[in-house]
Structure 1
């Protein structure tokens, strides 16, 4: 048994969810994958994978071993890349996680051009608003939009987006237009995520960031849902500019409290904290940074 090959096949099985998929991906027979995993388990003296007729599941030992295998394979990639990448065309697969609304509206239209420029790179894209564990899930990078990152996050800033308070003209005609963030307490407010009840909204008042607590008429974990509710006259929402742009263009939402605009959110590429960043990932990050910056309003 070649342990390096066995580890590579084990990671492929874990990532793809089946022995057959790993065999197809790596170009070997399924029987080879089966024998290599069995030999690896025999060598280690532990069960790594539990298989049923419907699915396979990693054991606790398998999950721990997977993290170590990823680190080892990454070090091998790094050693090879440092020698080779300057003279090679970037190639290979990149797994990327994108926030749902921003990913579909702003990133998805860019990806065909990236693939056209880099014909030997393939992309696997997960559009989701959940927090992805990059190491455990084998993801190369995620894009996160946040006011600030967590301590220890490894990231590159790609750009920023504005936060805008918006409402439908019909709502304002019926309930009045607030002139100060504090006046939102008298309005129906639409909040992001189930945690919004414990999270104040920030506005810039007299050059300083102030935070205001409100009760919520509606909570949702997706900005498009909140924009649609606001456009139908249910209340006032504070949303990123990329979500409300189309509603603005159609006149379905108008911006409020422009003199108190909330602090901008950063757009970040988050990277695994234990992994060499391959050339193919770096060219994607460079492309996203260039494209997002060029698309930003002046």
Structure 2
């Protein structure tokens, strides 16, 4: 039994809380994982996990061993990476989670360029607007667009995006143009569905953020759908500039309540944990930060 491999497997199982989930991520049979954990427990002479039909839990010995394994594995990875990364081309698997619209419009060209520049990195892209558990999903890095990262999240700010309230000229001709966020309650509003981002709309009123809870005429889990509905004259919606920018430029939508516009959203690279970050992940973060900075400066 290779003890480092066994430690890595034990940590993966403990983080996922499931032998089957770990087996699925690693692409092996569940029986292989079960045998490895059993061999590790026999070697240590102590029970590490208590298995049930629904989920496993760690024993007190298992919890203590888990923390020590994490420290040891991080030290090993740091030691190896520090010796190799200066002379070796970044390589290995790298799975990233990307917001659907921003990912397709802004990040895919950069990621294809990155993949071409670093052919030994096996890049896997997952497009979703859901908030994922990075460890459970086996994701190394996610890009999130939010006003405020989750407390304790390990992040690198890559850029920003402005939220814009919009409606079609036809809708405004029929229903009038709201002059204050208070007036939105009398309009048809188009918002995100609860599973994505069913938060109140926030505006700056007298210089202070103020939330407005609205009754949605229509909901969807994708901003392009809501923007298309607004173009059809179905109501007022609020989205980042990368979703509605082309519609505004073409005159299909008009910006509203600009003097009350909320602070920009941040675009963040978020890591799965504060564990040692593999060289290939750091290379991708630096690449995206550099390329997005070029785009903002107009030099790309």
Q: TM-score, normalised by structure 1?
A: 0.80
- d(CA) in 2 for partners of 1:46 and 1:198? 41
Matches for 1:120-269 after TM superposition, within 5 Å: 120-194=120-194, 199-269=199-269
- d(CA) in 2 for partners of 1:121 and 1:18? 18
Deviations 1:233-267 (A, max 9, x none): 11000101111123334432222222222211000
- d(CA) in 2 for partners of 1:266 and 1:36? 43
- d(CA) in 2 for partners of 1:150 and 1:31? 37
Consecutive unaligned residues in structure 1, runs of 5 or more: 24-29, 52-56
Q: Which residue number in structure 1 is paired with residue 4 of structure 2?
A: 4
Could you tell me how far 1:32 is from its partner in structure 2?
Answer: 8.0
Q: CA RMSD in A?
A: 3.5
SS in 1 for 2:255: strand
Could you tell me how far 1:173 is from its partner in structure 2?
Answer: 1.5
**Contact 1:9/1:22 (CA < 8 Å) preserved in 2?**
no
- d(CA) in 1 for partners of 2:104 and 2:196? 24
**Contact 1:49/1:58 (CA < 8 Å) preserved in 2?**
yes
Q: Which residue number in structure 1 is paired with residue 119 of structure 2?
A: 119
Q: Which residue number in structure 2 is paired with residue 27 of structure 1?
A: none
- d(CA) in 2 for partners of 1:278 and 1:152? 20
Consecutive unaligned residues in structure 2, runs of 5 or more: 14-18
- d(CA) in 1 for partners of 2:131 and 2:65? 20
Could you tell me how far 1:9 is from its partner in structure 2?
Answer: 5.8
Q: TM-score, normalised by structure 2?
A: 0.80
Q: 1:17 aligns with which of 24, 37, 40?
A: 24
Deviations 1:90-124 (A, max 9, x none): 22111111112221221112111001111221112
Could you tell me how far 1:64 is from its partner in structure 2?
Answer: 7.5
Q: Which residue number in structure 1 is paired with residue 278 of structure 2?
A: 278
Matches for 1:62-141 after TM superposition, within 5 Å: 72-141=72-141
**Contact 1:165/1:255 (CA < 8 Å) preserved in 2?**
yes
Could you tell me how far 1:274 is from its partner in structure 2?
Answer: 3.4
How many residue pairs get aligned? The number is: 286
**Contact 2:204/2:261 (CA < 8 Å) preserved in 1?**
yes
Matches for 1:281-296 after TM superposition, within 5 Å: 281-296=281-296
